[in-house]
Amino acid sequence: MYYQQDNYPLQTKEQHIKLVFVGASATGKTSIIQRFVYGVFSELPTTLSLALEKLQLERNNYNIHLQLWDTAGQERFDAITPTYYRSCQAIAIVCSGDQRDSLAKAQFWYHQVRQYADENVQIALIYNKIDLMECELSDSILNQLTQQYQIPLFKTSAKTGEGIESTIQSIVDSCQVNENDSKQELVKIQRGRCCQ
Ligand SMILES: Nc1nc2c(ncn2[C@@H]2O[C@H](COP(=O)(O)OP(=O)(O)OP(=O)(O)O)[C@@H](O)[C@H]2O)c(=O)[nH]1
Ligand SMILES: [Mg+2]
């Protein structure tokens, strides 16, 4: 419960946000989520089934129940992934400079999301591994794609943490019902994890 200065209880609104991460294998989906939720970066096995992180976030008068759905990027799982789009508010499509085909794969995911997800779903492109010196994907190619699809582009490094909080914060913002609320830092107050 949150109180205003005059001690009248402030009405807290609840919001549920399901954010699904898709993208080619080894672009860093799991690493981004682990960095955001636990603040760590470590070598992880490839994802072979859906992993789900649950967080409760406090933001202004909102109690946000955020679910981060981590999908398997290997092609053999491509047919399963759309089943996770059901009732999701946002989808983050991840690509990275060291995965040569990951932008083409991002285009594939974009069209699949448009086909299977709710038409109001928020879609974002995340370009991960910006700490790497050699990047296969130029800014102009990335901007061209995001302009064409009219989706925002975020740049992150799960390794250094750069852009991780602000990216997820922006995606959560885009799902917020009341756009007039002033911005505050997300405060993580609860965590939970499960797998399927
Ligand atoms: N340099 C660098 N390496 C990263 C970064 N993010 C992830 N990696 C590495 O990239 C590899 C793949 O990372 P994952 O997070 O497992 O990738 P994923 O997209 O979840 O892959 P799948 O589970 O197979 O779909 C691992 O070796 C990570 O350590 C980053 O920001 N910078
Ligand atoms: Mg993974």
For ligand 1, whether the C-beta of 194 sits within 6 Å is no
Q: Give the residue-averaged pLDDT of 58-66.
A: 87
pLDDT at 189: 56
Please list, residue by residue across 56-74, b when 16 or more beta carbons sit within 10 angstroms of its beta carbon and e when fewer do: ebbbeebbbebbbbbbbbe
Average pLDDT, the chain: 87
User: pLDDT value at position 16?
Assistant: 94
Ligand 2 centroid–CA 180 distance in Å is 35
Q: Measured from the CB, is residue 160 less than 6 Å from ligand 1?
A: no
Residue 29 scores a pLDDT above 90: yes
Q: Mind spelling out the 3-state secondary structure of the chain? A: CEECCCCCEECCEEEEEEEEEEECCCCCHHHHHHHHHHCCCCCCCCCCCCEEEEEEEEECCEEEEEEEEECCCCHHHCCCHHHHHCCCCEEEEEEECCCCCHHHHHHHHHHHHHHHCCCCCEEEEEEECCCCCCCCCCHHHHHHHHHHHCCCEEECCCCCCCCHHHHHHHHHHHHCCCCCCCCCCCEEEEEEEEEC
Domains and CATH numbers, the chain: 14-194 (3.40.50.300)
pLDDT at residue 63 is higher than 60: yes
Calculate how far, in angstroms, residue 185's C-alpha sits from the geometric centre of ligand 2: 27
| Cross-strand bridge partners of residue 191 | 55
Q: Is the pLDDT of residue 183 over 80?
A: no
What count of other Cβ atoms lies within 10 Å of the Cβ of residue 114? Answer: 12
**Does 159 contact ligand 1 (Cβ within 6 A)?**
yes
> Model confidence over 95-122: pLDDT tens digits?
999 988 999 999 999 999 999 999 999 9
Positive or negative torsion for Cα 132, 133, 137, 141: positive
What pLDDT band is residue 89 in, cutting at 50, 70 and 90? very high
> Per-residue confidence at 179, pLDDT binned at 50, 70, 90?
very low
CA-based radius of gyration for the chain: 17
pLDDT category of residue 62 using cuts at 50, 70 and 90: confident
Is residue 138's pLDDT more than 70?
A: yes
Ligand sitting nearest the alpha carbon of 126: 1
* pLDDT at residue number 180: 42
Please say if the pLDDT value at position 5 is more than 50: no
